[in-house]
Structure 1
Amino acid sequence: MAVNASLGVLLAFSGLLLGACRNNGEPEKKSADCGELPALEYSKNLKVGTLCGEKVAEIRSIVGRDTLVKRFTLGDAPQKVVALSSAQIGYMLRLGLEGRIVGVGEGKYIADSALYARVAAGQVAEVGSGSTISLENLVALQPDLVMSFATGGGHDDYERIEALKLPLMLTSEWQEDGPLAKAEWIKLYGTMFGVDALADSIFEQSKNAYLQVANGGVAGVSPARGGSEQQGASEGEACPRVLVGMSYGGVWYAPGGNSYTARLIKDAGGCYLWAADTGRELQFTLEEIMKVADSADVWVNPGMFGTPEELLAAEPRVKHIKAFKDRRVCQNDGRKGPGGGNDFYESAVAYPAEMLQNLKGCIQKSTNGADSGRTGFDWYHNIFIF
């Protein structure tokens, strides 16, 4: 139910992995009666803890103009999981839980070669997603858990899955504002699958390594939640000015200053052109971009295009952008699966320090595309380096 015209908040309770009754048939006490879960260190959309003696997760998703908040009681670890997003697979792979995956959306998007091979061999089912999802195939798997997500768009599949009465969890790590906030979601999987200590250890190691990279290798200096306090490059280094986005149909789409990408660029030592913006998404005409393009040293995330030729074919006028002329364009598709799936969306969320190091190297070290080495350029790479 909507609270107001601009933001509706719906709090729902799900006994996701537990039966409806306990204690000799007495109804299970709802976790809402036991207080509130403490906030995590970075994440704004996830809480995990113990209420009434039970492990509980609370997940917040922005669905269109509404905010959906659901609590899940986490009981026995699910043995058969259908994971419909790349990030969900990435967290499970990091924890060594790939054997629990019995279904995915589309196998061609799987980047991990071993999981891709299992899908190709028919050992892991493809059920589709959004408008293509096969509810019949989903039910046939008899999963202990289906993991999906909600965008608020017409291609969402979660309402149809809910109608089947299958155990469903929506994750929203992709709506977090910072790399460490996304990485912290590994704690959900640790709690849910009974490997809490491993997940906590991985996150702490990842966090410390990330902060070292973000602070120029200086350990023990904690940046602001979700992003570093520095304004760009480390002391003594130039701060490359960074352009982000691409033009589609004459409209240039770019992330706002409070976005995940903006914070990642900041921690990598770059100075994002619209860092002062307070939003998450921006739109410009190509003419507006051309007016500021000469002030940008590096171009990051040029849409879906992975080569200079693809960029020029999509929009010939990008040849006038300084970063393109200087051959300093960084794309995140340096690691792909056997079917062409981009590993950035699968495993990078679970390896934030390595991802940051990749981007930092691409922004600061790849000067003109003349060097042939690709050492350290895993997800991010200069598209002019072959």
Structure 2
Amino acid sequence: MKPYGLVIAISLIFAGCNSVGNEKISTKHKKWSPKYAKGFSFEEKDGVTYLNILNPWPGSNFKQQFALISENDSLKANKSLAINIPIKRWATSSTSHVGFAEELNELNSLKALSGTNYVSSEGVQSRINKNEIVELGQTGQPNIEWIIRNQIEVYLNFSIAENASVQSLLEKAQIPMIYIGEWNEKHPLARAEWIKVFGVLFDKQKQADSIFAAIETNYQKWKKRAEIEGNAPNIISGSPYNGVWYAPQKNSYMQKFYEDANLNYVWKDLEYTGSLQLDMEFVFNTGKSASIWLNSSEYQYLSSLEKLNPLISELSSVQNSGVYNTSKSKVSEGVLFYEKGVVRPDLVLKDLIQIGHPNLLTKHKLHFFEKLRK
């Protein structure tokens, strides 16, 4: 991708200029920030477009900047900080990155990833079985030797903190390591908007923009449909582990989904560092009457849940079979929600609306959730 291609697109978005005949396109605006996401931006300097990565984990002030260049450009820059567009050989530490690549039909360029047993994509699993995609090793400890030996052009990294040792080794080999911080975004559309980063890396910016625009339109349409439903059912969320109930906190990613699906999450005003940690007595006293229980851990049967604590069987959601969990993958040990739901929040929202307001979506089939069986 020629760097000025992105610059022109950015200029058009902000300045509303058109190129007709010999008229010049304005490039006055040099920076572009996404509509929802806070973890990345683009800017143009001296005719070169740069990708900025901003604060990719909670509480960080970490930043990265990469020059986006074509193979024909003569930019003189540290190769570990410059990315040839489009990338043709990449590796990743996160299955959520697979979801973005699949939307852009870029699975063939993926060569390795961490957690091959958890990938839900049938296309990726097929290539794994053919040894066309290999296991890269534990997240945070990738097989650096393999990455270098197999001429990987870019390593996409999920991390909850700076991984300086891996980054240093890859920089010495002149291989960029990009911290992809979509998971740190709070708004569902903000996470999905990271497809624009993948679009630029694969030189498919227009396609990525079009995909996101359709997702945003669908999401907002169904959000408005849910708003007209006056009755918001009470719901609880999360699951118990070793006597502690872990649940989404105020202003979290899942809490935003519940709000937009017009579901009354009973703990929506509670704040904590990370997930809420509630005791069972509090859960019972505040959530007993909730008609729906979402994200109930890995269990598929109500009887399995009831064995965890005697109070669970007294919850209305359990008594009325209103308990839902994220669906298991049909081709791996993974969960489709964590791979595909990130890039398709519109489908997640439709699932939640169907669960809470079934009269709005009588023919909708759940994509990411399933009701627990007795």
TM range (shorter): 0.7 to 0.9
Residue type at the aligned position of 2:312: V
Correspondent of 2:188 among 179, 190, 196: 179
Who is 2:11 aligned against? none
The 1:374/1:123 distance shift into structure 2, 3 A limit, reads farther
Q: What is the SS of the residue equivalent to 1:169?
A: strand
Taking structure 1 as the reference length, the TM-score comes to 0.78
Who is 2:370 aligned against? 381
Q: Does 1:240 align with 2:236?
A: no
User: Which range is displaced more, 207-216 or 289-298?
Assistant: 289-298
Question: Is this contact kept in 2: 1:330–1:383, CA < 8 A?
Answer: yes
Measure how far apart 1:157 and its partner are. 5.5
The 1:236/1:125 distance shift into structure 2, 3 A limit, reads closer
Taking structure 2 as the reference length, the TM-score comes to 0.80
Who is 2:102 aligned against? 93
Measure how far apart 1:35 and its partner are. 9.7
CA distance in 1, matches of 2:267, 2:368: 23
Residue type at the aligned position of 2:366: F
- After superposition, give the CA deviation of every residue in 1:183-240 in whole Å (9 maximum; x if it has no partner): 1111111111111110111111110110000000xxxxxxxxxxxxxxxx53344201
The 1:132/1:305 distance shift into structure 2, 3 A limit, reads farther
Measure how far apart 1:91 and its partner are. 0.4
CA distance in 1, matches of 2:116, 2:310: 33
CA distance in 2, matches of 1:184, 1:239: 28
Who is 1:249 aligned against? 242
CA distance in 2, matches of 1:243, 1:327: 14
The 1:242/1:64 distance shift into structure 2, 3 A limit, reads same
Measure how far apart 1:295 and its partner are. 3.1
CA distance in 2, matches of 1:196, 1:349: 19
CA distance in 2, matches of 1:131, 1:188: 21
- Identity of matched residues, %: 22
Residue type at the aligned position of 2:228: E
Who is 1:70 aligned against? 64
Correspondent of 1:311 among 305, 330, 347: 305
The alignment yields a C-alpha RMSD, in angstroms, of 2.6
Pairing 1:78-227 to 2, within 5 Å after superposition: 78-130=87-139, 133-152=142-161, 159-165=165-171, 166-216=175-225
CA distance in 1, matches of 2:91, 2:284: 45
Residue type at the aligned position of 2:60: D
- After superposition, give the CA deviation of every residue in 1:128-163 in whole Å (9 maximum; x if it has no partner): 1236633333333220001111113xxx85632432
Q: Does 1:322 align with 2:328?
A: no
The 1:236/1:186 distance shift into structure 2, 3 A limit, reads closer
Q: What is the SS of the residue equivalent to 2:55?
A: strand
- After superposition, give the CA deviation of every residue in 1:42-95 in whole Å (9 maximum; x if it has no partner): 011121343332222212235465331212222222110002111111001001
CA distance in 1, matches of 2:229, 2:111: 51
Q: What is the SS of the residue equivalent to 1:208?
A: helix
Who is 1:369 aligned against? none
CA distance in 1, matches of 2:141, 2:195: 28
CA distance in 1, matches of 2:177, 2:123: 26
Who is 1:226 aligned against? none
Who is 2:23 aligned against? none
Residue type at the aligned position of 2:268: A
Question: Is this contact kept in 2: 1:130–1:157, CA < 8 A?
Answer: no
CA distance in 2, matches of 1:201, 1:64: 29
CA distance in 2, matches of 1:319, 1:374: 31
- After superposition, give the CA deviation of every residue in 1:320-356 in whole Å (9 maximum; x if it has no partner): 22211111112122x5141222111111222121121
Who is 2:290 aligned against? 296
Structure 2 residue ranges without an equivalent (≥5): 4-27, 70-84
Measure how far apart 1:256 and its partner are. 1.1
The 1:208/1:290 distance shift into structure 2, 3 A limit, reads same
Residue type at the aligned position of 1:142: Q
CA distance in 1, matches of 2:65, 2:163: 20
Figure out how many residues of one structure are paired with residues of the other and give that number. 328
Question: Is this contact kept in 2: 1:267–1:356, CA < 8 A?
Answer: yes
Q: Does 1:53 align with 2:47?
A: yes
- After superposition, give the CA deviation of every residue in 1:108-128 in whole Å (9 maximum; x if it has no partner): 111111210111221111111
The 1:251/1:107 distance shift into structure 2, 3 A limit, reads same
User: Which range is displaced more, 270-279 or 240-249?
Assistant: 270-279
CA distance in 2, matches of 1:374, 1:381: 15
